[in-house]
């Protein structure tokens, strides 16, 4: 079994998690930024093992995205998923359309189809939350960049119309970037959970409460309820949580975190991932609260605060390796594209995957890149294909390493900021498979080392030939910046490439 201290429930670039439960099944969504389709959706019966069920924003009219450096870490920011009155609701912000307000979509089935979005014009900011009070009135709560702090307003979620004047309900505890709000009702109290400290090493989860949903909220004296700042914990940047009540009446929280590696200052490569902790409710005197319903004598719970139990859940080992032969009618939900809709250039069928040309071979920026998230710390990826093709590991266009084949020539290249350089090349037979491997650095103790080393090359009959090796720190968030993580992509470099198989293997 994997240790709960360093095992995410959704590994890889799955930040800003939001969760809800319907019956005995849980549903989870995450930010997707510049990648299309947007808002990945997973389902689970046990909170520990998750199945992808689709992406909510899977039509271009729902989600305009941008390619290139201008689009990097744009697009879809932190979402909220909720279930109310027989419908699933999703609220999020497309940062490229931020002046339109947040967008809201709904579906009867979380696997889709999801509605076209409506926009909350007048609510300017990021990280929207939806919560319904006992009268069925919906509140929109978000990080208000105009007023500062967390604002709230009644909203019609079917139209996006604001039904009042927004007002600030809490400014947090004083940490930077009070954002990611979620509102809950329990025991006659309303609770407001937020993220503070920025989404880096100072990240934390804080909470406040109020008797009424739209009154000012009072801060928990024990804030923050979760942070790993200034610790040696293998998981860092813990924050941006969302609570959920389990079928047995207990509670849990999903949150994001990173797994930095290497020598000081350490680097994380897979982006911000989704983790799980237990929640206990405790009164101000520290006693565990069991006031699920308002007290019969006083009319309500005397007050409780959520406290975090990081050791409650043990995440099981998972099978992350896969081979995709692309013979189905559509792409698996794992496949995404930065700034483009995969359906416009990728076609599946009995012959495998057909890719129409994206960028030219000498160009740097992706045009039609079909990608999947890296979910392991050490891995290999191999593609068997015919035609001119690139296999790429990237954080964005300015931070990538690739192996590309043009005719019988295979070249290893890397782009780090404004610099693009050929690292190695060779003549190989047409049956060679392009391969990238992320392995341990092998540095001796005390030596400066990156998080891993990226070996770029090709395989013939299962035998790997290396063209170049790159220090993995250059394809990390600490170097690239932004809010995503590594993805592995395929792009055709001539009018058409045919992919027989893509194999991802955890090492």
Write down the pLDDT at residue 293.
Answer: 55
More confident residue, 295 or 89: 89
Residue 206 exposed, middle or buried by CB count within 10 Å (0-12, 13-18, 19+): buried
On the CB side of 87, CA atoms within 13 Å amount to 14
What mean pLDDT, rounded, does the chain reach?
94
In 3-state terms, what secondary structure has residue 68?
A: helix
Give yes or no for a contact between 150 and 133, defined as CB atoms under 8 angstroms apart: no
- 103-155 pLDDT, tens per residue? 999 999 999 999 999 999 999 999 999 999 999 999 999 999 999 999 999 99
Residue closest to 391 by CA, chosen among 437, 333, 350, 342: 437
Among 16, 144, 196, 214, the active-site one is 16
Residue closest to 157 by CA, chosen among 113, 101, 103, 111: 103
- 183-197 pLDDT, tens per residue? 999 989 999 999 999
Active site residue 300: no
**Where is 167: in which H helix or E strand?**
strand 167-170
Q: Which residues lie closer than 8 Å to 461 by C-beta, 6 or more apart?
A: none
Q: pLDDT band for 443, please (50, 70, 90 cuts).
A: low
Active site residue 284: no
Q: Given strand 399-406, what is the order of strands in its sheet? A: 370-373, 487-492, 389-396, 399-406, 409-416, 419-427
**Where is 55: in which H helix or E strand?**
strand 51-57
CA-to-CA separations, 326 to 22, 58, 478, in angstroms, rounded: 32, 19, 34
* Average pLDDT of span 208-213: 97
- 162-183 pLDDT, tens per residue? 999 999 999 999 999 999 999 9
Distance (Å, whole) CA 252 – CA 338: 33
Write down the pLDDT at residue 295.
Answer: 47
pTM of the model: 0.96
Does the pLDDT value for residue 1 go beyond 60?
A: no
* Average pLDDT of span 306-315: 95
Write down the pLDDT at residue 4.
Answer: 46
Does the pLDDT value for residue 296 go beyond 70?
A: no
Write down the pLDDT at residue 445.
Answer: 58
Among 58, 127, 144, 179, the active-site one is 179
Among 292-301, 311-320, 357-366, 373-382, the least confident range: 292-301
């Amino acid at each position: 079994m994997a240790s709960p201290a360093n095992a995410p429930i959704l590994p890889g670039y799955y930040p800003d998690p939001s969760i809800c439960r319907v019956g005995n099944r849980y549903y989870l969504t995450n930010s997707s930024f510049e990648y299309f389709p947007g808002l990945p959706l997973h389902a689970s019966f046990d909170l520990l093992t998750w199945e992808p069920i689709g992406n909510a924003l899977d039509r271009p009219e729902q989600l305009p995205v941008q390619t290139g450096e201008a689009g990097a870490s744009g697009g879809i920011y932190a979402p909220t998923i909720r279930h109310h009155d027989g419908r699933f609701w999703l609220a999020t912000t497309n940062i490229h359309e931020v002046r339109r307000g947040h967008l809201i979509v709904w579906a009867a089935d979380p696997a889709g189809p999801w509605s076209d979005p409506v926009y909350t014009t007048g609510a300017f900011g990021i990280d929207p939350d939806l919560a319904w009070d006992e009268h069925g009135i919906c509140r929109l709560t978000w990080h208000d960049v105009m007023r500062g702090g967390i604002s709230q307003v009644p909203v019609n979620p079917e139209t996006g119309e604001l039904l009042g004047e927004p007002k600030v309900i809490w400014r947090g505890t004083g940490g930077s970037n009070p954002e990611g709000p979620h509102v809950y009702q329990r025991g006659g109290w309303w609770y407001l959970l937020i993220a503070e400290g920025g989404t880096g090493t100072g990240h934390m989860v804080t909470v406040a409460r109020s008797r009424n949903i739209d009154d000012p909220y009072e801060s928990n004296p024990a804030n923050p309820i979760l942070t790993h700042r200034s610790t040696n914990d293998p998981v860092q940047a813990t924050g941006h949580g969302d609570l959920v009540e389990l079928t047995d009446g207990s509670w849990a929280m999903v949150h994001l975190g990173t797994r930095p590696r290497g020598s000081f200052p350490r680097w994380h490569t897979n982006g911000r991932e989704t983790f799980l902790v237990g929640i206990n409710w405790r009164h101000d005197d520290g006693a565990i609260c069991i006031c699920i319903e308002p007290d019969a004598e006083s009319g309500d719970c005397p007050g409780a605060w959520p406290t975090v139990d990081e050791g409650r859940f043990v995440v099981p080992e998972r099978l992350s390796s896969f081979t995709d032969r692309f013979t189905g009618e559509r792409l698996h939900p794992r496949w995404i594209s930065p700034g483009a809709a995969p359906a416009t250039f990728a076609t599946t069928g009995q012959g495998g995957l057909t890719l129409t040309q994206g960028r030219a071979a000498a160009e740097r920026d992706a045009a039609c890149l079909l990608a999947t998230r890296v979910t392991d710390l050490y891995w290999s990826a191999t593609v068997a294909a015919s035609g001119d093709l690139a296999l790429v590991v990237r954080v964005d266009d300015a931070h990538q390493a690739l192996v590309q084949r043009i005719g019988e020539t295979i070249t290893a290249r890397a782009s780090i900021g404004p610099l693009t350089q050929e690292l190695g090349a060779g003549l190989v037979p047409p049956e060679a498979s392009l391969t990238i491997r992320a392995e341990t650095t092998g540095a001796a103790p005390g030596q400066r080392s990156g998080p891993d080393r990226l070996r770029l090359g090709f395989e013939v009959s299962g035998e790997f030939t290396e063209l170049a090796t790159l220090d993995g720190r250059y394809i990390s968030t600490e170097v690239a910046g932004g809010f995503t993580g590594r993805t592995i992509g395929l792009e055709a470099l001539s009018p058409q490439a045919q992919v027989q198989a893509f194999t991802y293997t955890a090492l």
